[in-house]
Structure 1
Amino acid sequence: MNEESKPSGPDLTKGVSLTEFKHGKLLGHVGAEDVLLVQAGSEIFAIEPSCSHYHGPLAEGLVVDDTIRCPWHHACFSLRTGEPTRPPALNALAVWEVTRDRDRILVQSKREMPAPPAPHRAAPMPEKFVIVGGGAAGFAAAEMLRREGFAGAITMLSDDGAMPADRPNLSKDYLAGNAPEDWLPLRSEDYFRDAGIDLRLNTNVSAIDPKTGRVMLGNGDTLPFDRLLLATGAEPVRLQIPGAEQPHVHTLRSVADSRAIIKAAGGARRALVIGASFIGLEVAASLRARKLEVHVVAPEERPMQRVLGPEMGDFVRALHEENGVNFHLEDTVERIDGTRATLNSGGVVEADLVVVGIGVKPRLALAEQGGLAIDSGVSVNEYLETSVSSIYAAGDIARWPDPHSKQNIRVEHWVVAERQGQTAARNMLGARERFDAVPFFWSQHYDVPINYVGHAESFDDIAIAGSIAGKDCLLKYRKGGRVLAVASIYRDLDNLEAELAMEQS
């Protein structure tokens, strides 16, 4: 056995003592498999040590009651069953039986994975569920319906040509060339077939009729529903300038968009990114990984200042400049003539690839046409119900009462969309589960991850602990003395603890 595949820590079949634990955890092995021992109260659990999302190290995570949270992207798992209790993880972890021999803790046999629950048959039970949208919220809802044992019909309508995919990867590792395309699908075609989920790609929905409980498709067909989930997501804001419709000018939202940018990057030398948004700068980093010269044009004084503040904005700019990105800030693109982009300042950037990242807008047309209540998004209550009781909304379109910020908010975060999809699914089955998760997102820039938990549409001041320049910091965004959000770099446990504090406040 070579050094790379050598299992970690002590052999747990021979037993270990609690005195060997560090911060309530001990990484060891059973045979060739790594196993993490976790102390939760008076109990000891044994679980697979890597998060099933991006393989984050759970030994560095946070134990809350009988669950453990991943330090990287805040997925959560039951220590008893290994089941993922919070996205972004969707796959369960293996667990092992733990026994005690006096003061020794022994792990020997892996526990069988629990069988799926029996189908719900509570009366009256809706039989036909329709989900409009093939993104994070729509997929998470469909998957949760089956996980909860729902045996009725699930039809999932997506106007995309690709299977539900790991969208954050489209601007990060996949675009950079560090992840193969087969990593993108959230589930295989076989999963949808075996789970009995009727996934219809390239399918346009033209209208919904709440009164008759029907969805009208673009081809003239109709589908009846007992429960409907609108998860139509958002679409990129289009650049409204001369030359924006040229074939070398791209936006990034779908797998097809990312593929097109990758193809164009193969024959390009210089790229122009319009917009210093999170996605814009992730694209810039990914194109630098492909050795393109990259220019970023944006109207802000600092990138990301509105969300992260001036100090973090300066850091992000410096980080990208260290990696070769050229910024043209407090400026805009006036027109694009072929490969020549003329700036409002009079400057010119020559670029054979242009990517526009100036924000997204929620896709509200179906909800508006159906007469649902709208307020800068689809208005939902704490159970994610719209103004029509049989229709729910989740993801980028949903505007919900957030108990943490004490406001009605709408956010465009992948993890929030997944969590809302799961909550909506359970409520469509008859649960009355409030959606009260604290919003969370992450952004990756070269080797620097930025984790952000909470929601601060504005803030009075920022308390900074540690060193932003040293890539070891925690920032608290406060308004009226109250912490509304926290951002961090390489302070993962602190970020998890901040999330827990917000949940408990």
Structure 2
Amino acid sequence: MGASRSKSVDLPTFHGSESQENELSGDKQRHKGSLKEKHEPVFEKEVCLASEMQDNEMREIEINNHKLLLIKANGEFSTIGHLCTHYGSQLVNGVLSRGRVRCPRHGACFNIKTGDIEEFPCVDGLQCYKTEVQDGKVIIFTTTSALDINKRTQNMVTRSLVNKDVILLIGGGPASLICAETLRQEGYRGRIIIATKEMHLPYDRPKLSKTLDIDIEHILLRKPEFYSTYGIEVLINKEATSVNTKKRKVSFKDGTSQRYDNLLLATGSIPRMLSCLGADLENICLLRSFDDAIRINKLATAKDIVIVGSSFIGMEIAAYLVEKASSVSVVGNSEVFELEDVKFYMSDHVIELRGEDGLVKDVVLASGKVLPADLCVVGIGVRPATHYLHGSPIKTDPKGTIIVDEYMQTNVERIYAAGDITSFPLPLCSNENVSISHWQIAHKQGYIAALNMQKKKIAIDTVPFFWTFFFGKSLRYAGYGAGFEEVIIQGNKDELKFVAFYIKEDKVVAVASLNYDPVVAQVAEVLASGKTISKLEAQDKQMPWLQYI
């Protein structure tokens, strides 16, 4: 069979972008276009007395059955949308600091006066509302349509055919999308091409392991109309095979190539497969793409499932399949707490997969246990998808990650990298080069790469933020805990409601919590401000470090 043809997604003409529907939060509001375009009459609403609010206070208010977030900071009032544009968390429960509010669940930050994004993950800013104090009363000025809009797509230009410059973005994840959007926000009018090996527009990949049967339309980061509105080309089924840095050209699996003036490499990671006997049987699955999720969901109904790997992805898959499959077993090489109706085989590993008619039937463990399996899902880690760089001068480390500087620039001029495939200097740990496969980091790096393609010379400065949710348990993590020397626990582990401070050289370098919001967002904001939390402060149940926010 010949190679399948790559193609550009059919993008209809549309005027006025539309934001992603947020099925996890129930926030079904959509972007309805600029208020200025509507020419609606503005009305005013008194919401409270200025004396009723303390400084550095946030309060949800209601106008015509619509909630907004009223903020008093440094003696001034401002009003923005009340829900985080990522998954719709209530920002009133978040962290107010340094002129921004941080989401309590996933760490996104928004400017309290403009609603602009100041930290990721998210693609939309918040709507903002003119707010004044008159005769001691807080007055908000708005329109009827403005009240329907929680999200706001930030101002962007579109392509000019006069501009022949080309920026090529390889990879269909958030790094490429945010890079493209930031370029347009910064006034870049040249050609922008996103080339992805998948068959879909960029989508919210973390949702796959939590809801395997989700509709692709519900997880698109942007609707098709968005790309045509802002002149962003998306080429699907377009897998890179090589980069010619001298000719500034990328070649693809389908035999085509594309020249570039600036290039972003954001190809993500590839799941690792088992290397034991029987690993090539047909009903052994990896989860990386939407198509992988659909396949696993289809094969799992009323079947015996063995999940190899006790990673977060493995646990999320187990949580989803437990009510769908006949049985779910998890095999891992570390100890974890046992939950629900899942059988755990920890401190063990697979030595053989036995099959019949090309399909796996049994999973054999080193301990001698034999687990029946109609389907085996492997989640034992990933490796960077950088194989197409073999033979190029682009510098990688021994693990295959691309080495970039603080501007996301590789060692080759005009070539940048972002996301899972990078090793980059993190200010939080004295600019040590690290590789972090977080959804939030990919957003941030795409943003930084775009700014520096436009000669802004802005270095990355972020606090890594991670989250997961399974079996009704919410886990958050912020910071960088590699090499930690001690863990201090506050709360109750037996009740699965606690926070863990990771200590290195007598200071907190990372924090994790289970059902203990918003403490991780609070620590993230302290670290983002450049302040430190000492070991003694972490041991104090009164959390004196909160004064640094």
Would the TM-score normalized by the shorter structure come out above 0.5?
yes
Name the structure 2 match of 1:253.
288
State how far apart, in whole Å, the 2-side matches of 1:209 and 1:413 are.
29
Q: Structure 1 residue aligned with 2:503, among 472, 478, 485?
A: 478
Q: Structure 1 length normalisation: TM-score?
A: 0.88
AA paired with 1:15? V
Verify the 8 A CA contact 1:81 1:114 in the aligned structure 2. no
AA paired with 1:395? G
Verify the 8 A CA contact 2:300 2:325 in the aligned structure 1. no
Whether 2:411 is the aligned partner of 1:387: answer: yes
Whether 2:302 is the aligned partner of 1:277: answer: no
Whether 2:345 is the aligned partner of 1:345: answer: no
Verify the 8 A CA contact 2:105 2:521 in the aligned structure 1. no
Q: Percent identity?
A: 31
Gaps of 5+ in 2: 1-25, 28-43, 356-360, 532-549
Name the structure 2 match of 1:312.
none
Name the structure 2 match of 1:454.
479
Whether 2:387 is the aligned partner of 1:362: answer: no
State how far apart, in whole Å, the 2-side matches of 1:205 and 1:180 are.
27
Q: Structure 2 residue aligned with 1:443, among 454, 464, 468?
A: 468
Name the structure 2 match of 1:310.
none
Output one character per residue of 1:154-173: Cα deviation in whole Å (capped at 9) or x when no partner.
1111111122110110011x
Give, in angstroms, the shift of residue 126 of structure 1.
8.4
Name the structure 1 match of 2:246.
211
Give, in angstroms, the shift of residue 20 of structure 1.
4.0
State how far apart, in whole Å, the 2-side matches of 1:114 and 1:280 are.
34
Give, in angstroms, the shift of residue 426 of structure 1.
1.0
Q: Structure 2 residue aligned with 1:94, among 116, 127, 136?
A: 127
AA paired with 1:441? F
Output one character per residue of 1:360-392: Cα deviation in whole Å (capped at 9) or x when no partner.
001122334321111131111111100012100
State how far apart, in whole Å, the 1-side matches of 2:409 and 2:189 are.
22
Q: Structure 2 residue aligned with 1:499, among 524, 528, 540?
A: 524
Name the structure 2 match of 1:151.
189
State how far apart, in whole Å, the 2-side matches of 1:256 and 1:197 are.
24
Name the structure 2 match of 1:432.
457
Give the 3-state SS of the residue equivalent to 1:13 in structure 2: strand
Output one character per residue of 1:433-469: Cα deviation in whole Å (capped at 9) or x when no partner.
1112111111112211111111122211001111233
Q: Structure 2 residue aligned with 1:490, among 510, 515, 518?
A: 515
Name the structure 2 match of 1:182.
217
Verify the 8 A CA contact 2:158 2:229 in the aligned structure 1. no
Give the 3-state SS of the residue equivalent to 2:140 in structure 1: strand
Output one character per residue of 1:154-212: Cα deviation in whole Å (capped at 9) or x when no partner.
1111111122110110011x22x5x5442211112221222211111111212111112
Q: Structure 1 residue aligned with 2:345, among 303, 328, 347?
A: 328
Name the structure 2 match of 1:399.
423
Counterparts of residues 230-269 of structure 1 (less than 5 Å): 230-266=265-301, 268-269=302-303
Give the 3-state SS of the residue equivalent to 1:396 in structure 2: coil
Verify the 8 A CA contact 1:20 1:26 in the aligned structure 2. no
State how far apart, in whole Å, the 1-side matches of 2:332 and 2:157 are.
54
Q: Structure 1 residue aligned with 2:180, among 137, 142, 158?
A: 142
Counterparts of residues 60-209 of structure 1 (less than 5 Å): 60-110=93-143, 116=155, 127-172=165-210, 174-175=211-212, 180-209=215-244
Change (3 A) 1:336 1:371: same
More helix by percentage: 1
Verify the 8 A CA contact 1:126 1:226 in the aligned structure 2. no
State how far apart, in whole Å, the 1-side matches of 2:404 and 2:394 are.
10
Verify the 8 A CA contact 2:124 2:153 in the aligned structure 1. no
AA paired with 1:133? G
Change (3 A) 1:189 1:105: same
Verify the 8 A CA contact 1:368 1:374 in the aligned structure 2. no
Give, in angstroms, the shift of residue 55 of structure 1.
0.4
Give the 3-state SS of the residue equivalent to 1:369 in structure 2: coil
State how far apart, in whole Å, the 2-side matches of 1:14 and 1:204 are.
56
Change (3 A) 1:206 1:59: same
Deviates more, 1:20-29 or 1:246-255: 20-29
User: RMSD between aligned alpha carbons?
Assistant: 2.3
Change (3 A) 1:486 1:336: same
Output one character per residue of 1:307-332: Cα deviation in whole Å (capped at 9) or x when no partner.
xxxxxxxxxx13x2xx1111111111
Verify the 8 A CA contact 1:126 1:429 in the aligned structure 2. no
Give, in angstroms, the shift of residue 349 of structure 1.
0.7
Change (3 A) 1:294 1:136: same
Q: Structure 2 residue aligned with 1:15, among 47, 51, 74?
A: 47
Total equivalences in the alignment: 472
AA paired with 1:398? T
Deviates more, 1:229-238 or 1:401-410: 401-410
AA paired with 1:496? A
Verify the 8 A CA contact 2:195 2:234 in the aligned structure 1. yes
State how far apart, in whole Å, the 1-side matches of 2:216 and 2:263 are.
31
Name the structure 2 match of 1:313.
none
Q: Kindly report structure 1 stretches of 4+ aligned residues shifted beyond 4 Å.
A: 110-115, 117-121
State how far apart, in whole Å, the 2-side matches of 1:126 and 1:454 are.
41
Verify the 8 A CA contact 2:157 2:185 in the aligned structure 1. no
State how far apart, in whole Å, the 2-side matches of 1:14 and 1:248 are.
62
State how far apart, in whole Å, the 2-side matches of 1:74 and 1:115 are.
19
Whether 2:268 is the aligned partner of 1:221: answer: no
